[in-house]
Every structure is written in C-alpha cells, then in structure tokens.
Amino acid sequence: MAEKVQERKASFTTSSGIPLERVHTPADTVINYDADLGAPGAYPYTRGIQATMYRSRFWTMRQYAGYATADESNARYRYLLEQGQTGLSVAFDLPTQIGYDADDPMALGEVGKVGVSISSVHDMARLFEGIPLDKVSTSMTINAPATVLLAMYIAVGKRQGVPSEQLRGTVQNDILKEYIARGTYIYPPKHSMRLITDLFAYCKTSVPHWNTISISGYHIREAGSTAVQEVAFTLANGIAYVQAAIDAGLNVDEFAPQLSFFFNAHNNFLEEVAKFRAARRLWAKIMRERFMAQNAKSWLLRFHTQTGGSTLTAQQPENNIVRVALQALAAVLGGTQSLHTNSMDEALALPTEKAVQTALRTQQIIAYETGVCDTVDPLAGSYVIEHLTNEIERRAQDYLNRIDEMGGAQRAIEMGFINNEIQDAAYFYQRGVEDGSEVIVGVNMFQTHEEHHPDLLKVNPDIETAQRQKLAELRARRDNTRVAELRARLETAARGTDNLLPLMVECVENDVTLGEICHTLRGVFGEYRPPVSI
C-alpha cells in the first residue's frame, strides 16, 4: 500500500484533477486586482462579502440537529444555545421531508429516525417552545414541503406574538438538487418550481428578513461530485431559480438579496478554500452581467457551510474530529457566513450530546484561539490559492456553458447529464479508494483491529406510536368541516395561479396537517417519477 501512495505522488492534483506544481510562482497566476480580486466587501467579492468580515462578528455557529419528537429536539436546541450556539438548524425526519404525516402507512418505521417528526403546527410549536423566534435565526433543511413548514413557522411566530416581518432564517427550498442527488422530491419539476417562486413572492413583503432558498451544493458533493462540479451544478441551479422567478414576473433585485447558498467542506484544504472564493466571484459576475441586477446585495453569494458527512469514517471515529477541524478551518478561511461542524460519531448514528459539544467547541476554538479571524481573507495573494481560485472558476464556467447549451439546469437534469457527471466522479474516487491511490486514514491505510465504538444515541422506537396517538387526538378535536373546506380551497388554488402561501398559513392555523396539504397538492400536481435507463 505504501508503494501505491508513493506512486500516486508522481502526479499531484487536487480532488477535481487540477494540477499542482512543485512550487507556484507569479507566472502561474494572472491576477487582475480590480476584475478578479478587489477589496473585501467590494465586487466581485472574491475576498469576502463584508469589508471587515470576522473582525466585526464571527460566522453564525449553526449546528444541525433534530431527532425523535419535537420535545426531545427542543431540549437539544436549548442545550446547544446554552453552549454558545448562535443559530438553529432543524433536521426533519424522512416522512416530514417527503410530505407524509407520522401516521401515514408510508411513514412506517421512519418516524423520528433521521430528524424530528413534524406533522402539525402543534409539533412545530413544541419544537420551539421557550425559544423566542424574534431572537434567533432558524434554518430548516426542507425542500419539497418547504412552503408548508414555513407556514407552520409563521403560525408559531404569531402564537409567540412575533409578526412574520420579524422572523429571520432560511428554508432550503432547493428542489432541483433533489432530482440530482438527494431524492426527497414530491412533485414534478414544473410544479415544484411554482411553489418555490410562490415562496419568493410571499416572503418579499410578508417575511422580508427570510432567506427564501438555500441553493445547495452540499448534497451534490455528498453524492460524489468534485469541488468544481459542486460549484458548477449549484450555480446552474441558482441560475434556473433566478430565471424562473423573473419569468413569474418578479424583479431580480426584489428577491435576489434573499437568496443564499449551502456548500460542503471536504478534506483537500487548499482546494476547498479556493472553491468558496471562486464560487463567490462567479456568482457576482452572473448576477451583474447575466441578470443585470442593479442592487449590490443581489450580487452577494452568502453561504452556509457544513463539514463533509461523506468523509466521516466508522473506523477510528476519533479521527473525524481532526477531519472536521480542518474542513471547518477551510470554510472560515474561505469566508463562510454560517457553519455546522459534524460530530465524530455521525458515521455510526445520530450524534450524542457529548459529540455535539465537541463539534461546537471546534468552531469556538477556531474563532477565539487561532487568530485566523483577525484579518480578512488571510490566504489571498498566495500563488497556489489564486491559481486554484482561477482554475475552479474557469472549469465551473465551462460546465455552465455546456448546461446553457442544453437549455439550462432543469433540461440538463432531465437529460441525465448532471447525474452522469456526478456518478462518473464518484466512481473514479471509489476506484482510487479501493486501489489505494486515495488514502483514507484508518480505512485503507493505518488500520487497527479495535471494534470499540463510542456510546451511541438510540432513538426510542415507541415515539412512532406516540406520534400516531397525538395525530389521532388532533383529528378528533379539530373542526373537520373547516379542514375539508380549506383543503377544497387549496385544491382550487393549486389548479389556478394564485400564490399558495397565504392559504397554507390559514390551513396550518386550522390544524390541517402537513400530509393533508401535501396529499391535496399531489392530487393536482401528481408525483415525480425519475426516468429509468439501462
């Protein structure tokens, strides 16, 4: 195996195949200061979207959490806030993500397993009990039913006396990457895009501080893409959303400032730092030159980062602390606005409280002890960093040109182009792992034979029965005549062109459940079935 590692070292490239010289010099990097680099907080934002960056305030430390019931997740959120977390990030269970109530036959065996179970506004109220929604920002990783979960959040805010105009946070709401990489879609693309633009339009006036979409490269990378592909396919999806909103009659400068992005941080440290810088610069150019946005806030690529889940190993899980620390440092040096650090035990189970605390402490050590936040974009001007930034931008732009020629991201997805590119990249990486040219410490080199694993979190299987009972009680006490009337109105509205968000808020306030709303829309929109090819 050691010989194979030395053999790999005969060719030095990044994970995206970008060659690295023995020593990089000014000749390797052409930098036009005004056009390509500029000052922090100035177009094209290569060096960061704020002039002072972390000298003014640190990134939001937003740990992703959610499991079992709303009550148990609420306890975890309050614990994280007590430990110094500065924002909430909600993980929903699989039934919630694909629009099924906890008592639906399709939810059997999955309730509360990979996130919190939310079927009604009462679940949402318990999730945020004792957490003032005018004081925290909340990110929700939800896509196909994003409109419904946002409606519930708005309703809970009202119960707390917090008007929607004061709510701050994000819904992921990125359905195109579900067709590419993740699979938690419900409706066909056309109807999904309608719901996304409805949410854009509604939030413009009713929830003005809400980030209406988090365009996600994270899951594209988790599916096996390279860093270049992560940038290219994420921005291609972003272009599709912007165009869809414009086609729906929205002015680009009315919604673009509320767009946000979500990227992965992997192990190739220098490439990851450069990736964030390249993505920021490329998006600024796209918004100013392609979409002719006039508001400087429309040019900003604001992004959340999560360390790479697919890089975590079940073998020697303590090694994951080191991986996460380096990935988090790359995100900070790349200028992230928000960060989640994975826990060491996540390759084995949902994280324990102790593991979550260590993950959060990792961010706090970077922020308070390393000194990397004392100056903005400290790696700028490094010949290799600028070389990689330029190369990632150039190669991502080549992909964007090809996708444009196909008719845009939605058409490229339908043709299978994006999926095939990711699958090929994943195959070549896995082949490298298996032949030893890609080293994973503790997995294919430096193994030990210990079978010990840390204490793991176990979700109580009885929570599914409890959730079903709560729903039965809700259905028995609510005004079912009113529920039927609202579902009928929702069906009529879905067949037309009216914005569905106001009616969804009314539905959840009257105890119409998540599953009932999604089933009503299924009856109008149908369900997406991916093409099968051999």
Contacts of 481 (CB under 8 A, 6+ apart): none
Return d(Cα 111, Cα 113) in angstroms, integer.
Answer: 6
Beta carbons within 10 angstroms of residue 60's beta carbon: 20
- Could you tell me if residue 67 is inside a domain? no
- Could you tell me if residue 114 is inside a domain? no
CA 319 to chain centroid, in Å, comes to 24
Q: At 268, phi and psi to the nearest 5?
A: -75, 90
Residue that has been written with the tokens 């450069």 in this structure:
274
Over its length of 534 residues, how does the chain's per-residue pLDDT go in tens digits? Answer: 444 554 545 579 999 999 999 999 888 776 776 667 889 999 999 999 999 999 999 999 998 888 888 999 999 999 989 999 888 999 999 999 999 999 999 999 999 998 999 999 999 999 999 999 999 999 999 999 999 999 999 999 999 999 999 999 999 999 999 999 999 999 999 999 999 999 999 999 999 999 999 999 999 999 999 999 999 999 999 999 999 999 999 999 999 999 999 999 999 999 999 999 999 999 999 999 999 999 999 999 999 999 999 999 999 999 999 999 999 999 999 999 999 999 999 999 888 889 999 999 999 999 999 999 999 999 999 999 999 999 999 999 999 999 999 999 999 998 999 999 999 999 999 999 999 999 999 999 999 987 666 677 777 788 899 999 999 999 999 999 999 999 999 999 999 999 999 999 999 999 999 999 999 999 999 999 987 665
- Could you tell me if residue 162 is inside a domain? no
* SS3 of 92-150: ECHHHHCCCCCCCHHHCCCCCCCCECCCCHHHHHHHCCCCCCCCCEEEEECCCCHHHHH
At how many degrees (to 10) do helices 353-369 and 70-82 cross?
30
CATH number of the structural domain spanning residue 192: 3.20.20.240
Which strand (E) or helix (H) includes residue 215? strand 213-216
359, 83 Cβ separation under 8 angstroms: no
- Could you tell me if residue 364 is inside a domain? yes
Residue that has been written with the tokens 């934002």 in this structure:
45
Give the residue among 206, 306, 301, 217 at the shortest CA–CA distance from 259.
Answer: 301
- Could you tell me if residue 369 is inside a domain? yes
Return d(Cα 377, Cα 375) in angstroms, integer.
Answer: 7
- Could you tell me if residue 160 is inside a domain? no
- Could you tell me if residue 463 is inside a domain? no
DSSP 33: I
Count structural domains, the chain: 1
Supply the range of the domain harboring residue 250.
2-56+172-435
- Could you tell me if residue 138 is inside a domain? no
